[in-house]
Amino acid sequence: MTLKYAFIRLLFTHCAPVTVVALLVGVPYLLLVPGPLESYDAWINVFLLAHCVALAMRLGNMQGDATEFLYTQGYTRDQIWTHLMVSTIVCVLAVWLPMALCLWLGVRSGIQDHVFVSPYYPL
């Protein structure tokens, strides 16, 4: 089975509002929250849950005519499911990579050290 990049791009643009909102909320939170980030931080878990639910609702909303049209174009259920999963991974990476780069490149440490003069930084 080959991936149709136009179909993945279509699904990604369908989820673009969710991805942009998650990016605009996630990166400032990452940069501006004082202190070390912890995996048990409630707000990070709420953000992850909200992003996952929003993506599932946005991609799961493709019912009726859109799905029937895809079936008439020769797509099988497995192909549609695979393209949905790949586009979901692309949407998650579009939010995760900028946040990870802010951590890896020291942007967060610089902001915490110079702007907030946090005692935890520089790391």
Per-residue pLDDT tens over the stretch 36-63: 888 788 888 899 899 999 988 888 776 6
* Alpha carbon distances (Å) from 94 to 13, 37, 87, 113: 12, 20, 10, 27
**pLDDT the model gives residue 62:** 66
Whether residue 102 is predicted with pLDDT greater than 80 in this model: the reply is yes
Average pLDDT, the chain: 85
List the domain boundaries for the chain: 5-114
Q: Are 86 and 59 in contact (CB under 8 A)?
A: no
Q: Please report, for residues 5, 17, 69, 74, 113, the alpha-carbon distance to residue 34 in angstroms, rounded to integers and kept in the order given.
A: 40, 28, 49, 52, 10
